[in-house]
Amino acid sequence: MKERPVDRNTSFGGLPLSSNLEEDKTEPIGGRGKKMKPRKQTRTISRIMVPTDFSPGSAEALEYAIALAKRLKADLILAHVIEPFPYNLVEGMAFSDYGERLTPPARRLLDHQSKRAIKEKIPVKTRLIEGAPFREIIKMAKREGADLIVMGTHGRTGIDHFLAGSVAEKVVRLSPCPVLTVRSVPAAPKRGGAKRGHKAG
């Protein structure tokens, strides 16, 4: 399996492939000026949540999450959030109508992606809801008791990053559990292709 690029700037970018995450803590063993005794806390990963927007970046995050779940013997929660429509672009359409139109294709895509986990014999649940993506992802992580969120980032910078409003960035900041982001790598441009306007023969 091709190695997936992982964003090392998040809290668990270098996540070890072990069912337990160990966090080093310290606690005092005496009064002021005394040495600190190391103490370890263990976090078990048994439920991994994967938010998806069906982009190539989300697909890469899903592949990474499947590899983790397989090694950790964890369950997967595959989730998609249907965003509210912009009122100035969709006139005369109720939000419920808008959501109903998007739900069937989103459900098909979600079910299609879940087959990747099923093929690897990983228990998977799918969740499809409406709302602001980062808020719904955080609420769902709490409700489902997720131990880890794995999600893709688009690698945008500058004005594109600002306009896109990084969902991953907000989730990392507000999530109730650790977040592992997987950055998608753009495909390399093809070389040696036929020049535009050139005719064979």
Which DSSP helix (H) or strand (E) runs through 173? Answer: helix 167-174
- Report the C-alpha gap between 172 and 182 in whole angstroms: 12
1 inside domain: no
190 inside domain: no
Residue 37 confidence (pLDDT): 56
**Which CATH number covers residue 147?**
3.40.50.620
Residue 35 confidence (pLDDT): 57
17 inside domain: no
30 inside domain: no
Residue 84 confidence (pLDDT): 75
Residue 77 confidence (pLDDT): 97
Residue 43 confidence (pLDDT): 67
12 inside domain: no
168 inside domain: yes
φ, ψ for residue 41 (rounded to 5)? Answer: -115, 140
Residue 174 confidence (pLDDT): 92
Which residues of the chain are under the pLDDT cut of 50? 1-3, 7-16, 22-30, 88-90, 159-165, 193-201
- Report the C-alpha gap between 184 and 167 in whole angstroms: 15
Express each pLDDT in 73-116 by its tens digit.
999 999 999 887 655 444 555 555 555 666 888 899 999 999 99
Find the domain containing 126 and state its range: 44-183
116 inside domain: yes
- Report the C-alpha gap between 25 and 40 in whole angstroms: 6
Q: Please state the domain count of the chain.
A: 1
6 inside domain: no
